[in-house]
Homo-oligomer: A and B are copies of this chain.
Amino acid sequence: MAITGGTLVTISAKMEIIEDSLVGIKDGLIVAVGRNSDQEYAALKTKDTIDASGCIVMPGLVNTHTHLPMVCFRGMADDLPLMEWLTGHIFPAEARFVNKKMVYDGATLAMAEMILSGTTTFCDGYFFEDAIAEALSAAGMRAIVSQGFADFITPDKPKLEKRMAVAERFVTRWQSYAPMITPAYFCHSPYTCSPATLVNIKEAAREAGILYLMHLLENKDEIDTILNRYGKKPVRHLLDLGVLDEQTVAVHCNWLTKEDMAVFADLGVRVSHNPESSMKLAAGVAPVPEMLKHGIKVGLGTDGSASNNDLDMFREMDTAAKIHKVTSLDPTVMSAETVLKMATTGGAKVLGMEKFIGSIETGKQADIILVDMNQPHLTPLYNCYSQLVYAARGADVKTSIINGKIVMKDRQLRTIDLPTAMENVRVVAADIINQKLC
């Protein structure tokens, strides 16, 4: 298969942009990157060739943090104080409505939304993660699926003593599907997980050779909570427990200090940045420009739909570029190019998948999106990076290819039955409305 005639934004190390380009795909891999006029690639043009005229051809976006099934709670309760939102709405709804079917149905709808807005790879953390992996397999997306841990009773693991065995079975079941489905462990946070939990799970993650994720420093309160409990600040606490390394992804990091950044840079700890969720929850603004200066690997994420309230990575890129400019009063930080890298190669690096995805180069897996630039809000076109970050939106993605397979063509999904996916989530929502939880 070939994709011809578009403006190719490679996000390779050289950041090449190729006009009237050709991308050849075979067995799920990118086998050719060049010009449409190059004769050597003529054989790649078959009846399946996709005409990308008027489109930017670019790597699919990588969403480094989300909780897919929370689409079921999108807009259920907003503009509330954090604790009222959590304890009055989200936790009761999760306790009552989260089950394997809800997780599968929510994840399926969320994946429809993600494919329709240009995301090809994501990293999820929730309960019943087996069901997410099953939905993922059906939808043909690529993901890290993280089994969640916390020292309270979660909807899927009533017996704490059995959870490690469950988690190991989960890893064993899915590990061979990498790099399409890659299992991981997600410790909810330093304030919901005891030192023993944090250490034990990290040890298990190391043994399995998988990623270890954690919400960290989302809110300022967390500093006092951990200081009161352990006599040290969160990053020092985690450092002393020995759970920070290159396979650790810290999500949010809104209150990371320069000292913390030095630790992260030294140990190779990676960060998932979720600006829209942290704005909406009034949690804080992560010091991302400083993190990048420290050489920390940072990827972009949307967080779940209950706190954003969408999964559109184009919107997230726009916000990521703007929020840091205004908080630093410096319009030169977080350029469009920087943000676009963060949402592609940056995310791939954070998830340890940079060998497979994040850019359009021969030998990488074919995760490619076509963005239709022939639209009023994308006219004129001076600079691809600027246009993609500041003016394009998820709805401009025309076609999406994951692992060499077309999952959306001309805005039509090929792997998900959209009316059914929407209806299934509406059924969950009707129950929530009946129970007066929104």
Interface, chain A (partner B; CB < 8 A): 71-72, 74-76, 78-82, 85, 109, 112-113, 116-117, 220, 276, 278-285, 305, 308-312, 315, 318-319, 321-323, 325-326, 328-332, 334-336, 374, 376-377, 379-383, 386-387, 390-391, 393-396, 418, 421-422, 425-426, 428-429, 432-433, 438
Residues of B within 8 A of A116 (CB): 376-377
Tell me how far the C-beta of A170 lies from the nearest C-beta in chain B, rounded to whole angstroms.
27
| A81–B376 touching, CB < 8 Å | no
Task: Specify which chain B residues have a CB less than 8 angstroms from the CB of A376 in the assembled complex.
Answer: 109, 112-113, 116, 418, 421-422
Can you give 10 A-B contacts (C-beta < 8 A)? A74-B380, A81-B331, A113-B377, A116-B376, A309-B387, A311-B377, A315-B393, A323-B326, A374-B422, A379-B425
Assess whether B386 is in contact with A75, with CB atoms less than 8 Å apart: yes
Known pairs A71-B380, A79-B321 / 20 extra A-B pairs, C-beta < 8 Å: A75-B382, A75-B386, A75-B390, A79-B334, A85-B331, A280-B325, A282-B328, A284-B329, A309-B390, A310-B377, A310-B390, A312-B377, A319-B319, A319-B322, A323-B323, A376-B421, A377-B394, A380-B426, A382-B432, A393-B393
Task: Give the chain B neighbours of A220 by CB distance below 8 A.
Answer: 329
Residues of B within 8 A of A308 (CB): 390
**Are A282 and B323 interface neighbours, CB within 8 A?**
no
Task: Tell me the bound Cα distance from A74 to B422 in angstroms.
Answer: 36
Q: Chain copies in the assembly?
A: 2
A326 touches B381 (CB 8 A): no
Contacts of A78 in B (CB 8 A): 335-336, 383, 386, 390
Complex-state Cα separation, A329 to B393, whole angstroms? 27
| A335 contacts B79, C-beta separation under 8 Å | yes
- Complexed CA–CA distance, A252 and B381 (Å): 27
Query: A93 to chain B: closest CB distance in Å?
Result: 11
**Distance in Å: Cβ of A118 to nearest Cβ of chain B:** 12
Nearest chain B CB to A218's CB is how many angstroms away? 12
Could you tell me the distance between the alpha carbons of A76 and B379 in the complex, rounded to whole angstroms?
A: 11
A332–B79 contact, CB under 8 A? yes
CA distance A335 to B308 in the complex (A): 14
Neighbouring B residues of A391 by C-beta, 8 Å = 74-75, 305, 309-310
Q: Which residue of chain B lies nearest to A309 when distances are taken between CB atoms in the complex?
A: B390
Q: Which of B76, B325, B330, B377 contacts A117 (CB 8 A)?
A: B377
A390 and B331 form a contact (CB under 8 A): no
- Name the residue among A79, A285, A311, A326 with the largest chain B CB count within 10 angstroms: A79
With A308-B390, A390-B308, A426-B380 already in contact, the answer to whether A80 and B332 are too (CB < 8 A) is yes
